[in-house]
Amino acid sequence: MKKSVFYSSKSAFLLFFLLLCSFSAFSQNTSNDSQQNGSDFWQYVRYGGGLGLSFGNGIFSATVAPSAIYDFNNQFSAGIALNYTYFNDDDFFKSTIVGGSFIGLFNPLPEIQLSSEFEYMHVSRNFNDPIFEDDNYWQPAVFFGIGYTTDVITVGVRYNVLHDDEKSIYADALVPFVRVYF
């Protein structure tokens, strides 16, 4: 039986995520000081996200995407993100995209960041033309990325191994990104 690209991509993501979890398990602080003073969990949490706004020629788009990550140590972080996007093209359709993602980050060097991310979005498209049928569907994405980090900002590119030209919310499998965590 021939294995699909989805199966091998899914396996690669699962392996990377399990490795990330196993490495981070060794990085936990077990000193008596932290146990006596209570949990210091929140001091290792960083917040960030993205805001987007675009408009012109009958097109409007707005995105709100908050996120939080937990720093296990100087190299490993993991977290979650939420996403809400509204898109309106007066001539063609309106779309609402709602979902979330899990992200794992690894910094082999302070300036280099490797990432893996599982994203799951619900897409609702309502077309203005009766020729097209309205769409409501869930769209998964698995990204592997690399970026350059300076202080709290990371700029890079990520690749969606599950990209589908018909259903994906991204125009291409290769997606640039800017991450900011405080």
Closest among 108, 180, 119 to 146, alpha carbons compared: 108
- Encode the chain (182 residues) as per-residue pLDDT tens digits: 444 444 444 544 444 444 444 444 444 444 444 455 567 999 999 999 888 899 999 999 999 999 999 999 999 999 999 999 999 999 899 999 999 999 999 999 999 999 999 999 999 999 998 888 999 999 999 999 999 999 999 999 999 999 999 888 888 999 999 999 99
**Owner of token pair 């408009």:** 55
d(CA 3, CA 64): 37
d(CA 18, CA 32): 28
Model confidence, pTM: 0.76
d(CA 7, CA 103): 20
d(CA 119, CA 103): 8
Bridge-based pairing of strands 45-56 and 59-71 is antiparallel
Q: What is the DSSP letter of 75?
A: S
What residue ranges define each of the domains in the chain, with the CATH number in brackets? 5-24+51-180 (2.40.160)
Tokens of 7: 């199966």
Would you report the helix, strand and coil content of the chain in percent, each value rounded to 5?
15, 55, 25
